[in-house]
Chains A and B, each alone.
Chain A
């Protein structure tokens, strides 16, 4: 178990380094620097700016400085556009918001999705099953950027129940729509995966044994069928996490929740490379960390996995 974890860790760290180096090289290979604008800057000013941000150093030295700053002090450097702000400040401002509704969405997607899938599987070919299958097919074409305007249309403009945007320190009225918009398509995928894997599990021998020895159906499902049926769901959690992190950008832009995604899009439009890289690397680190947890969880649940 320990060596398995270590092996996974040994892949995770180089992955992160590759991500940092690749985005850094991409940034420097791009035509035009971060200070290219419509108004041509005098060369002396440009040289000063480059010197201030360390862009006059050789590439390898810049990379080393950058990586060193992140590893030792968790410092992503200054923003290229906002003269008085560092990337850390920009991230620190939005990250708690993203984290709040992100975690909520994730929990909602998993809990609702698994419940829906299990119910559909044990009531196969009933109304409940058709409902669950219908929802999961429909939600395939309802990604977050489609859900968001539809939700606002229905709940803000027609019914007037919920505010159409804002965050207000995370009061529940402001959290509901971002969470629904972000979780729906993943909830549907999880429901679909759970259903098919539960159906398969229910035909296994150990379930027949459990039933034969007279266990109540509830116990058969919850104690004996659920755990093996969760394996495909767990391996989907990694991609779902990436999808949600990505989708949070849409939520931040559309609902003005003020999360980190808004900072990313703004920096993309401003060509503020430092902020873009900071966010990309942070999100990459989160993803890699999460995949690590999923791998370990998988190894713990599935006894067949080789350490």
Chain B
């Protein structure tokens, strides 16, 4: 091929001139795209708000989440509404407990379940997917077929089965949620690993005798960081949804612990008495949390994976 000498020279000159202008790294680029995304920034603001509420909202509460307010008991519909003078900012529930304190606690539990459940799911899924993708061949086939099989099981029923049989503790919830949610993650990670493992730098590592486990840990996983971050963010709201679903049925966390789902369930059960705040406030925080995570997750995906648009 004939190279256009003049063009080449012009290009090399320009490169030399620009050499000291700072390069933009992948992550700086992603950050710029994320910050420019209005929906994602709104989502982030919502998440910050909800997190601050969960962490420090308790210091503003004038009642604990277990105290019964005997002055409103029995007259919750008339006296238990949101009021500033008696310290029940969000009103009380039908037993006379302060709904503000309960909502703070419910938000804490829901966020905790979401984040820990997502962490379990991401760890298991990433490990499984990376091993399957890196091993390839028959091992990969068998491992992914198993995922196919597990995916066609209505997991919610199995999760409830597990919760009922092993006691409805937080640990059982974390483990159960994580264990049923890693499947999607493992598929994504496997696909990425497959496309990575034939690259030169992996080949070089293999040629110099680096053991497979080290290659996966040092060379494959860091390259998956972006994808993992995106799906971890999108998994959190799904975990919160699942937990709320179970709590709504009365099969999730047990009193005196509560979660947003359990509070929504209580509120939904008492709307006939006109105590609409019991549904409204937990629902508000539920919706804010979910929107926040969805928007941030979508924003991260757009920022880190610009070709997938």
Contacts and interface: CB of A to CB of B under 8 A. Distances in A.
Interface in A271-307: 271, 273, 276-277, 279-280, 283-284, 287-288, 291
Contacts of A146: 264, 283, 286-287
A58 interface: no
Given A18-B149, A153-B271, A153-B276, A246 B250 contact: no
B294 A140 contact: yes
A157 B154 contact: no
Contacts of B165: 26-27, 30-31, 271, 273
Contacts, number: 111
Nearest to B289: A141
Contact of A287 (B154, B251, B272, B279): B154
A23 B248 contact: no
Contacts of A245: 154
A148 to B, nearest CB: 7
Contact of B268 (A149, A265, A284): A149
Contact of B166 (A31, A148, A273, A279): A31
Interface in B119-153: 145, 148-149, 152-153
Contact of A143 (B245, B267, B268, B272): B245
Interface in A1-41: 11-12, 14-15, 18-19, 22-23, 26-27, 30-31
Contact of B251 (A11, A22, A268): A268
Nearest to B265: A145
Given A265-B251, A288-B152, A157 B271 contact: yes
Interface stretch (B78-86, B96-104, B155-163, B202-210): B155-163
A259 interface: no
Interface residues of B, number: 40
Nearest to A270: B164
Interface in A196-255: 238, 242, 245-246, 249-250, 253-254
Nearest to B268: A149
**Would you call the interface of chain B mostly helix, strand, loop, or mixed?**
helix
B244 interface: yes
Nearest to A246: B156
Contacts of B153: 15, 19, 284, 287
A280 B159 CA distance: 10
Nearest to B279: A149
B114 interface: no
B281 interface: no
B162 A26 contact: yes
- In this complex, the interface size class of chain A, counting residues with CB under 8 Å from chain B, is 35 or more
Contact of B157 (A141, A238, A283): A283
B152 A268 contact: no
B8 interface: no
Nearest to B167: A31
Contacts of B152: 12, 15, 238, 287-288, 291
Nearest to A252: B249
10 contacts: A18-B149, A22-B158, A26-B162, A27-B161, A145-B244, A146-B286, A157-B274, A164-B272, A268-B251, A276-B157
Interface of A: 11-12, 14-15, 18-19, 22-23, 26-27, 30-31, 140-141, 143, 145-146, 148-149, 152-153, 157, 164, 238, 242, 245-246, 249-250, 253-254, 264-265, 268-269, 271, 273, 276-277, 279-280, 283-284, 287-288, 291
Given A27-B161, A149-B279, A280-B157, 17 more contacts: A12-B152, A15-B153, A19-B153, A26-B162, A30-B165, A31-B167, A141-B290, A152-B268, A153-B279, A164-B272, A249-B249, A254-B268, A268-B161, A280-B154, A280-B158, A287-B152, A288-B152
